[in-house]
Chain A
């Protein structure tokens, strides 16, 4: 089946340092999956951070960016300079439209702690 593997947390980074959270996927049943990063702040539900529908394209939001690389089946999340408010759990996911509306397959989540 389809699967997503991402950096195992927790990850601790000092404020203003750079960040990369790795994400690789295996899409055995989907020819062209859509790729997503969701974020879960403490006490809140998951919310969409960014998405990329087309291979080779880059998505960006709130200073984060990720490039959909079909050759390496990767979708790494990067930020040049993190802030304390970025402390959260980040989930990589692949998705496809189908009978169930939109099926998402999630990674395990990466907990990020930013030291002030």
Chain B
């Protein structure tokens, strides 16, 4: 069974609306990550977390918030969705340390209209 799951798998949102993307992991990993991928770009890191109740900014955090209520759950929140946030969003989990592999969820396709 999948160790990193995301919900919803796809979503259509309206500009200015609030969107919450959820991620759940059963890997018992300390680190969790949110990435976005746009056409013509690689995955880019939005937020990450290394412990429950704490989140950190990644490379492109503007317009996003994150929440880590437990080790297993990590949410990405778009308070005021914009057209430019249309993308595929991936969640991942991993351990600290050198060469640590990241395990990814299947992605959420978000379309903002």
Give A contacts to B, CB under 8 Å.
4, 34, 38, 40, 43-48, 51, 53, 91, 93, 95, 97, 99-109
State whether B90 touches A45 (Cβ < 8 A).
Answer: yes
- Listed by A's residue number, 24 A-B pairs whose Cβ atoms lie within 8 Å are A40-B104, A43-B106, A45-B4, A45-B104, A46-B90, A46-B92, A46-B104, A47-B103, A48-B102, A53-B99, A93-B42, A95-B99, A97-B100, A100-B45, A101-B95, A102-B94, A102-B97, A102-B100, A105-B42, A106-B42, A108-B40, A108-B41, A108-B42, A109-B42
Q: How far is the CB of B112 from chain A (nearest CB, A)?
A: 22
Known contacts A45-B4, A45-B105: does B42 contact A101 (CB below 8 Å)? no
Known contacts A45-B4, A45-B90, A97-B96: does B102 contact A104 (CB below 8 Å)? yes
Collect the chain B residues with CB atoms within 8 Å of residue A105's CB.
Answer: 42
Give B contacts to A, CB under 8 Å.
2, 4, 30-31, 33, 37, 40-45, 48, 50, 56, 58, 90, 92, 94-107
- Closest partner residue, chain B, to A1 (CB atom): B59
Collect the chain A residues with CB atoms within 8 Å of residue B106's CB.
Answer: 43-45
